[in-house]
Amino acid sequence: MPRFPFPVAADVPLYLAPMAGVSESPFRRLCAHHGADVVVTEFLSAEGIRRENEATLDKLRFGPDERPIGVQIFGADPAAMADAAALVTDVFQPEFVDINFGCPVKKVVKRNGGSGCLKDLDLVQAIIRAVSRATHLPVTVKTRSGWSEDTRDPVGIALRMQDAGARAFTLHARTRTQMYTGHARWEEIAAVVEALEIPVIGNGDIKTPEDALRMLRMTNAAGIMIGRGSYGQPWIFDQTKDLLAGRPMRPTPDVETRFAVALDHARMVQEYEADPVGAAIEFRKHLGWYAKGLPNSADLRRKLHTVSSFSEVEGIFRDYVARMQRGDFAETFATPDIGDAAADAGVEEPCCEDAAA
């Protein structure tokens, strides 16, 4: 199997997907603690980086407990992408620079960024070459199977990206026009694995540890990337590692342990963000994901989605546990269906997951 161009401890490393508004530093740290082998930043605008936009550079902050880490950048101007890669390399020194050729959302695609680049594979190659010349770090790519069904050609796209200098390749096996609908075609990941000489990471429709194991068996991918499957259950990485190692999978945390993880996550956000009220409001989506599938979860989520301070969260959790122990809830515990957690929780999906996995 091809070797990764940066150090990874696991034979089949598990990646936390780059997800705008989700894979911020506190969540990356949490997932690394729960077994993610590699994390990647939110996707960041090359123009924002090269112009040293304060808000953009702020999202590049990471700590030593997040390594190995990749910084993902997007854009359609090879020169801007090269400048951004050079700055990221010199100032932040991640393990690798990842290029986003997969984001399907309109505000990115209308500037020909993300999956918009897939309409012009000559441009894709020019971007990869420019970024590779600008940094000594490994340059990796994350992309989709094509712009549309008519242009769906994951192997052809992958070969051109490899030829341009990509050192590892992540495929989310949907086209841009599919957005997040339908099913990821894992057989396309398997075909790319067969065709490339560089490591291939599989991405798409991994909601449970069992999904990750099935993808690995079907594709023989060098690594697995998990996105939406980590929402509200960062322990999915540890559980997946158990299955990959052939040992019994550790149990899903009980309610009190789940709330303890959520509060640990909240404390990390408090320490990281400068605006405590804004951070608490933004954290509501995570709270909804942690509550997904619990007895009486609709009422619990309604309460959590009104908080404006982290101190309120602990009280809501404490009251919920007390009511559960009194037997106030007739419902039995349900396993979360992470795929529709955002919709049920009344929050928007991240704008890119490349935001879905």
Would you please indicate which residues are annotated as catalytic (active-site) residues?
Answer: 103
Strand partners, 130: none
Q: Is 33 annotated as a binding residue?
A: no
Q: How many residues does the chain have?
A: 357
Q: Is 339 annotated as a binding residue?
A: no
Q: Is 267 annotated as a binding residue?
A: no
d(CA 249, CA 206): 16
Q: Is 288 annotated as a binding residue?
A: no
Burial of 163 (C-beta count, 10 Å sphere; 0-12/13-18/19+): exposed
Residue with tokens 């070797």: 3
- C-alpha triplet 331, 334, 339: angle, nearest 5°: 135
Q: Is 327 annotated as a binding residue?
A: no
Q: Is 241 annotated as a binding residue?
A: no
Widest Cα–Cα separation across the chain? 64
d(CA 56, CA 61): 10
Burial of 106 (C-beta count, 10 Å sphere; 0-12/13-18/19+): exposed
Shortest CA distance to 61 belongs to which of 99, 22, 20, 24?
Answer: 24
d(CA 146, CA 155): 10
Amino acid at 144: R
8 A C-beta contact, residue 94 and residue 85: no
Q: How many CB atoms lie within 10 A of CB 168?
A: 25
Q: Is 227 annotated as a binding residue?
A: yes
Q: Is 19 annotated as a binding residue?
A: yes
Q: Residues forming the annotated binding site for FMN?
A: 18-20, 72, 142, 172, 227-228
Q: Residues forming the annotated binding site?
A: 18-20, 72, 142, 172, 227-228
